[in-house]
Amino acid sequence: MFGYDRVNNVGASKAEDIDLESGETLYPGISYGENQLRWGFIRKVYGILGAQLVLTTIVSSIVVLSPPVNELLRGSSGLLLFLALIPFILLWPLHIYHQKHPVNLVILGLFTVSLSFTVGLSCANTDGRIVLEALILTAAVVVSLTGYTFWASKKGKDFNYLGPILFTGLIILILTGLIQMFFPLGPTSVAIYGGISALIFCGYIVYDTDNLIKRFTYDEYILASATLYLDILNLFISILRVLRSTDN
């Protein structure tokens, strides 16, 4: 019996050594089994997120490259307003049915497509060079911040304190955006607004990635992917706004 326990202890210590040496431990104090389960959850979320980004790229490309679709969206303010409201409407069923498969994936797909039309129209109204620059900058920032958050989490850092700060900044952004509808800002003010927006959504990428590592439960993979998708999309739009304003 003592020999059996000794073998088990040696095997467990070897497994932990291998896990630590490979750099796969998510944060200090997590058990080996929990660490493996959490990594599986993270891979699932990033798989869904990757599919969302691919779908957004396809829909946006259709809007940009297809003149009939582009003209339809530009010529119909009612349709554009409807597409802009759909994501807000779908947030409620997305939250209610996020655990019900495959309804959750269908709702998430509709949510992604509706946002993709808006992104595509923004890209269609922007010079292609600026769109490419925004894409490259967004990809670089997202990869850098994601890598940093995983590294910081492994070192024991926690970013949960960012929640109230980022939420306050988001409310200010929304109110400022509503004011712009009635009192349009100049190019310089728009660039500053876009820069502040980009900083806030950079913070959200760190905050939500930290939640993905530590706080999202295993059945919240739809909510986690939708949250990160919105962070990346808003960061791209903010960078696009800054580049477009400076170019003008």
- Asked if residue 24 belongs to a domain, the reply is no
- Asked if residue 10 belongs to a domain, the reply is yes
Distance CA 63, CA 113 (A): 11
- Asked if residue 50 belongs to a domain, the reply is yes
Structure confidence by residue, pLDDT tens digits, 194-248: 899 999 999 999 999 999 999 998 989 999 999 999 999 999 999 998 998 877 6
Other CB atoms within a 10 A radius of the CB of residue 87 amount to 19
- Asked if residue 207 belongs to a domain, the reply is yes
Which distant-in-sequence residues (6+ apart) come within 8 Å of 210 by Cβ? 149, 153, 158, 159, 160
List the domain range (segments joined by +) for residue 181: 2-16+30-247
- Asked if residue 21 belongs to a domain, the reply is no
pLDDT-above-90 percentage for the chain:
48
- Residue 175: phi and psi, rounded to 5, are -65, -40
Distance CA 116, CA 55 (A): 8
DSSP 25: -
Structure confidence by residue, pLDDT tens digits, 145-188: 999 999 999 999 999 999 999 999 999 998 988 888 787 777 77
Tokens of 17: 């050594």
Q: What is the pLDDT of residue 83?
A: 80
Distance CA 87, CA 94 (A): 10
- Asked if residue 74 belongs to a domain, the reply is yes
pTM score of the predicted model: 0.85
* pLDDT above 60 for 90: yes
* pLDDT above 70 for 21: no
**Total domains present in the chain:** 1
Question: Do 111 and 55 meet the contact criterion of CB atoms below 8 Å apart?
Answer: no
- Asked if residue 22 belongs to a domain, the reply is no
Q: How confident is the model at residue 123 (pLDDT cuts 50, 70, 90)?
A: confident
Distance CA 126, CA 138 (A): 16
- Asked if residue 72 belongs to a domain, the reply is yes
**Cα three-residue angle 128-132-135, rounded to 5 degrees:** 140
Question: Do 131 and 240 meet the contact criterion of CB atoms below 8 Å apart?
Answer: yes
103 burial level (CB within 10 Å; 0-12, 13-18, 19+): middle
Q: What is the pLDDT of residue 214?
A: 92
Structure confidence by residue, pLDDT tens digits, 37-88: 999 999 999 999 999 999 999 999 888 888 788 777 777 777 778 888 888 8
Tokens of 124: 């269609």
Distance CA 165, CA 38 (A): 27
SS3 185: coil
